[in-house]
Amino acid sequence: MKKVFSHAEEIRRRVLKKSWLKGFVTPDYDEYCITNIPATIYKTFGIGHGSGSPLVDSELKSALEGARKIVLLLVDSLGYSQLLNVLSGSRSMLHRFTDRSVFLPLTSTFASTTPTAQTSLNTGLTPQQHAVTGYSIYLKQFGLVANMVNFTPSVEFRRDVLIEAGLDPSDFLGAKTVYEVLGEEGYPSHVVTRWFFRNSALTRMLHKGAKIEPYVDTPDLFITLRRLIESRSTEESYIFAYWDTLDTASHVYGPASEEAEAEIRSMIYSLKTELLDRVDKGAAKNTLLLVTSDHGHHTLVENKTVKVPDHPRLFGDLQIPPTGSSRAPYLYPKPGRLESVKEYFAKNFEDGFLLIESEEALKRGLFGRGEVAEATSDRIGDLIALPREGYSLFYPYKPHREEFVLKGGHGGLSENEMLVPLWALPLGR
């Protein structure tokens, strides 16, 4: 087991060393990044596809050899250090499974948010290619800022309003999903997701080409996975599963809270008792379970939360309110006001933020590799405010809603937001 974690620590140090922004962790798109998971799956199934680069870690390659069924469990908001603590703990209930597994860190995308990272995980494209650059993005064709989780204007409470305005989520990306690519090669795909997401616009966009398998709560997620693994109809297939509860707990209570830790324990307990302990080893032969995340989480400090309406001069310098997220805000200064915005940050927020011009960030590779989609530049503004420890930049798009101060956030480039786990566990051994 010691070898498993020493290998992971070696990769972690290598990834941190490659970061080109001092004090931050930039995505390692060329090597250890979640954007390369789809290409790794394609290679395992012998499919030649142009998106991304397969993960080349030698120990992971060994675990993938001979796999004919791959299960990717995405635990929303699970940081690398959080799963490391669970697996390496002396009282870990997963102790006997760890020795025969592979564990390593990957970086998330920028921004480290669910819409951005999951779009990459479900297409193999980097953010600059798919142009889903944050939680809220400016949609030029509609002249508004949209919430990309709910597919609705950011000021709206209802879901999927943009569909009523003519947006077709299944064609929004203009690119094939992993499931469509696999399907064309004869490999069926299943997506196991919570029942109230099954018909959402985001599901229709990201999981096109897969059969949707809804679940109600954590235990039946793993029961559903076990049944799919044991089914003869899925002998050569890809199964994607999504568990979202930790993200909510981390936002509300904070990622280091007892409540968030309890959610992780609950998920791990169901993973062990309903899947790992009960799966038929014969049926699970040549099945590999991959556990990963879209991003980690960062503890927010209330007196470091900059509320844009409290700064009328800053707000007056902007053409539209900040987009993205509070930990990765994109700023759109009015013509001639870019330097004014920079000066205001330098004077009023000390060292709370690093401002980087969006075009420079694009050139340096913050948004990935490959062809830059035409919409990308429209959706990243002129400046990016990168918050340091505890800071965030908040704009209330729903001002009449009772304000609730979140204790956790993500989107930025801190280590705990950017480093996520990849745990590979052969199930048939």
Kindly report, residue by residue over 235-254, the tens digit of the pLDDT: 789 999 999 999 999 999 99
Give the mean pLDDT of 167-187: 93
Give the mean pLDDT of 313-335: 98
Query: Residue 83: what are its φ and ψ, rounded to 5°?
Result: -70, -35
Percentage of the chain surpassing pLDDT 90?
86
- What pLDDT sits at residue 403? 64
> Can you say whether the dihedral through the CA atoms of 111, 113, 118, 121 is positive or negative?
positive
Percentage of the chain surpassing pLDDT 70?
98
| pLDDT tens figures, 56-114 | 899 999 999 999 999 999 999 999 999 999 998 867 888 888 888 999 999 999 999 99
pLDDT at 378 over 90: yes
242-246, 331-335, 381-385, 393-397: segment of lowest average pLDDT: 393-397
pLDDT at 8 over 80: yes
Give the mean pLDDT of 106-133: 98
pLDDT at 348 over 70: yes
The Cα–Cα gap between 352 and 319 comes to 23
19-33, 117-131, 397-411: segment of lowest average pLDDT: 397-411
pLDDT at 392 over 70: yes
Q: For residues 304 and 356, is the Cβ–Cβ distance under 8 A?
A: no
Q: Which domains does the chain show, CATH number per domain?
A: 2-299+415-426 (3.40.720.10), 302-409 (3.30.1360.180)
Average pLDDT, the chain: 94
The Cα–Cα gap between 400 and 103 comes to 45
Q: For residues 48 and 265, is the Cβ–Cβ distance under 8 A?
A: no
The Cα–Cα gap between 255 and 262 comes to 11
Sheet holding 353-357, edge to edge: 152-153, 144-147, 136-139, 318-325, 328-333, 383-387, 353-357
pLDDT at 380 over 90: yes
Reported as a pLDDT band with limits 50, 70 and 90, residue 52 is confident
Give the mean pLDDT of 381-401: 91
Q: For residues 59 and 102, is the Cβ–Cβ distance under 8 A?
A: yes
- What pLDDT sits at residue 90? 65
Give the mean pLDDT of 370-380: 97
Q: What is the model's pTM?
A: 0.96
Reported as a pLDDT band with limits 50, 70 and 90, residue 400 is low
Give the mean pLDDT of 345-366: 96
- What pLDDT sits at residue 49? 75
- What pLDDT sits at residue 402? 58
Reported as a pLDDT band with limits 50, 70 and 90, residue 393 is very high
- What pLDDT sits at residue 399? 72
- What pLDDT sits at residue 95? 80
- What pLDDT sits at residue 92? 80
pLDDT at 198 over 80: yes
Question: For residue 421, which of 16, 56, 106 has the smallest C-alpha distance?
Answer: 106
Q: For residues 217 and 168, is the Cβ–Cβ distance under 8 A?
A: no
Reported as a pLDDT band with limits 50, 70 and 90, residue 1 is low
Reported as a pLDDT band with limits 50, 70 and 90, residue 268 is very high
